[in-house]
C-alpha cells in the first residue's frame, strides 16, 4: 500500500499547532530486502560444505557466523549448508535428511533470525549461501503425510524409498501435481524471504527429470535472482533440467584408485568421460571428500595416507577441471570419521600448515583464469599426474607425485623446452632431464 507522505506531513503540521498535541516519532519505512548481487558465475565457484553439528562447539548457526571470516580466508565464495529443517521423530535416526517441515528451521541450530543473520554476514563478505534440499522423501511426521496420495504406496501403505534401507523417511509420489506445487512453493520461500542463493539437491537421481525441470523453471522465473543449483547425482539430464553442477563420483573413486596404486593416467580418462556430452558452461563438482564420504568411507587423511597425500589429491581435484568442493574439516586434516547424525566438533587447531597450504592453493585457483578456463593438455604417466592449462599465452603446469615414495620423472620435450617458475615462490624451476619428486610432492609452475 502506498502512503501519501505529503498529506501525512500536512496533518502533523496542523495538529502540532495544538498545545495538547505531542507529535509521534517518525519511523522511516524499512527498505525491502535486496537479492545478493555477488553470486559467482559457475566457472568461478569455490564451494564449502558445512556440517552444522560439527562446525563449532555450539553446533548452530551462530557458531558458523562467528567463524565466517575463516571461511572467507579460504577464498570460498559459496557456502553449502547441510539440511537446516526440523528432524522427524518417528523411526528417527536423527538424520538431517529426514525433513519434518520444509518451511521451518531446526531449533537445534537456532531460529530463523539466526539463519538470516548468517546469510547476511556471508553476503557482506561476497559469499553466496545455498541450502540442502531433500526432495525425494520426508519424515513420517511431516504434515504432508495426511495427504496420502502425495506419497508412494504399496498395497495402500506408504513406503520408505524403494531400494534403500532408509526406514526413517517416507517416499514422495512425483506423479501428484499438488505435491509438486507445494514443494516448489516451499523452495521459493527460502529464496524470496530468506535470500538463499540456491540449492544442493539431495538424491537428485531418485527424482524424475520432469519435476526438476518444472521446479527450476519456476525458481528461475523469480525476478532478479541468480541461482546456484547443484544435483547430487550423475545423470546427464540434470543439466537439461537447469542444474549447473552435478557430482563427479567417478572421478572421486578413480582418485582413490590412483593413490592406491593404479596409473595416474587413469584420472585423465575419467575426466574426459565425465565431461563427454556436458553442455557448455556446466560442470562436475570435484572433491576428495564430502559429508557422506567422511562419515561412511574415511577422511582424506586416511584415504590418501596422511597430510601430504591428502594435499596432493586436492591439488589434482581442485585444478584438473570442474568446480572444487571443500568439506569443513578437511582443511585441518581431521583423521577420524566425521558424523552428521550426531555432534562431533572439529578441532580447528589441527595441522596449521595444512590449512595454510589450502589457503594458498585455493587463492591461486580463484585468481587464475588460466586454471579455471584454459585449454587442458594431459601427459599420462603411471606415477606422476601431469597436466597443463593454457590461455592467452600463459601456461600453468601441474606435476603431482601420487606415490608415497620417491619418483624420478623425465618430462616430455615440450615441457623441458620451456622456462618455468614456481607460482608461489616465483623461483625458477628446471625440468631439463630428470626431476626427482619426494613422496606425494607436487609442483605448480607457470611459463616465464
| Mean pLDDT for back-to-back runs of 10 residues, the chain (448 residues) | 39 40 41 83 98 98 98 98 98 98 98 98 98 98 98 98 98 98 98 98 98 98 97 97 98 98 98 95 98 98 98 98 98 98 98 98 98 98 98 98 98 93 97 96 97
| Cell 623461483, located at residue | 427
Q: Which of 211, 240, 34, 47 is nearest to 129 (CA)?
A: 47
Q: In what order do the strands lie in the sheet with 442-447?
A: 375-379, 384-391, 394-401, 442-447, 420-422, 428-429
Query: Inter-axis angle of helices 307-319 and 249-259, to 10 degrees?
Result: 140
The answer for 305, left when phi > 0, alpha when psi is -120 to 50, beta otherwise, is left
Task: For the chain, give every residue range classified as CATH 3.20.20.80.
Answer: 42-373
The three grid cell numbers given for residue 10, joined into one nine-digit string: 500536512
Report the CATH number of the 42-373 domain: 3.20.20.80
Of the options 2.60.40.10, 2.60.40.1180, 2.40.30.10, 3.90.550.10, the CATH number for the domain spanning 379-447: 2.60.40.1180
Task: For the chain, give every residue range classified as CATH 2.60.40.1180.
Answer: 379-447
Residue 367 buriedness (CB in 10 A; 0-12 / 13-18 / 19+) = exposed
pLDDT score recorded for residue 34: 86
pLDDT score recorded for residue 30: 44
The three grid cell numbers given for residue 317, joined into one nine-digit string: 581435484
Q: How many CA atoms lie within 13 A of 159 on its CB side?
A: 11
- The pTM assigned to this predicted structure is 0.92
pLDDT score recorded for residue 110: 98
Could you give the CA distance from residue 420 to residue 337 in angstroms, rounded to a whole number?
A: 40
Amino acid at each position: 500500500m502506498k502512503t501519501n507522505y505529503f498529506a501525512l506531513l500536512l496533518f502533523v503540521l496542523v495538529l502540532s499547532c495544538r498545545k495538547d498535541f505531542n507529535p509521534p516519532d517518525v519511523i522511516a519505512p524499512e527498505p525491502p530486502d535486496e537479492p545478493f548481487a555477488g553470486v559467482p558465475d559457475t566457472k568461478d565457484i569455490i564451494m564449502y560444505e558445512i556440517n552444522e553439528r560439527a562446525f563449532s562447539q555450539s553446533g548452530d548457526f551462530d557458531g558458523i557466523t562467528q567463524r565466517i571470516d575463516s571461511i572467507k580466508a579460504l577464498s570460498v565464495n559459496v557456502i553449502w549448508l547441510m539440511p537446516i529443517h526440523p528432524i522427524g521423530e518417528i523411526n528417527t535416526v536423527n538424520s538431517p535428511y529426514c525433513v519434518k517441515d520444509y518451511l521451518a528451521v531446526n531449533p537445534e541450530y537456532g531460529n530463523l533470525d539466526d539463519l538470516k543473520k548468517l546469510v547476511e554476514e556471508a553476503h557482506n563478505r561476497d559469499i553466496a549461501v545455498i541450502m540442502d534440499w531433500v526432495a525425494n522423501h520426508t519424515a513420517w511426521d511431516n504434515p504432508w503425510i495426511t495427504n496420502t496420495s502425495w506419497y508412494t504406496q504399496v498395497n495402500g501403505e506408504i513406503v520408505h524409498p524403494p531400494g534403500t534401507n532408509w526406514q526413517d523417511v517416507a517416499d514422495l509420489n512425483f506423479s501428484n501435481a499438488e505435491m509438486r506445487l507445494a514443494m516448489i512453493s516451499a523452495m521459493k520461500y527460502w529464496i524470496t524471504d530468506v535470500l538463499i542463493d540456491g540449492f544442493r539437491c539431495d538424491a537428485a537421481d531418485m527424482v524424475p527429470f520432469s519435476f526438476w525441470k518444472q521446479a527450476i523453471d519456476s525458481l528461475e522465473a523469480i525476478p532478479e535472482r541468480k541461482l546456484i543449483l547443484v544435483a547430487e547425482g550423475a545423470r546427464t539430464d540434470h543439466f537439461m533440467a537447469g542444474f549447473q553442477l552435478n557430482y563427479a563420483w567417478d572421478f572421486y573413486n578413480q582418485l582413490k584408485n590412483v593413490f592406491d596404486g593404479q596409473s595416474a593416467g587413469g584420472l585423465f580418462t575419467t575426466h574426459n568421460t565425465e565431461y563427454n556430452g556436458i553442455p557448455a558452461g556446466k560442470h562436475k563438482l570435484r572433491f576428495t571428500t564430502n559429508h557422506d564420504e567422511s562419515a561412511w568411507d574415511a577422511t582424506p587423511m586416511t584415504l590418501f595416507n596422511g597430510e601430504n597425500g591428502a594435499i596432493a589429491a586436492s591439488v589434482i581435484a581442485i585444478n584438473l577441471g570442474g568446480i572444487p568442493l571443500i568439506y569443513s574439516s578437511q582443511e585441518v586434516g581431521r583423521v577420524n570419521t566425521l558424523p552428521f547424525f550426531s555432534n562431533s566438533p572439529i578441532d580447528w587447531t589441527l595441522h596449521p600448515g595444512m590449512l595454510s597450504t589450502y589457503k594458498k592453493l585455493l587463492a591461486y585457483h580463484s585468481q587464475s583464469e588460466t586454471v579455471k578456463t584454459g585449454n587442458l593438455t594431459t601427459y599420462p604417466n603411471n606415477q606422476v599426474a601431469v597436466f597443463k592449462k593454457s590461455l592467452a599465452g600463459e601456461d600453468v603446469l601441474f606435476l603431482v607425485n601420487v606415490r608415497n615414495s620417491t619418483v624420478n620423472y623425465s618430462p616430455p620435450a615440450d615441457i623441458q623446452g620451456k622456462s618455468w617458475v614456481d607460482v608461489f615462490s616465483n623461483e625458477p624451476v628446471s625440468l631439463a632431464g630428470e626431476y626427482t619428486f619426494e613422496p606425494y610432492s607436487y609442483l605448480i609452475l607457470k611459463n616465464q
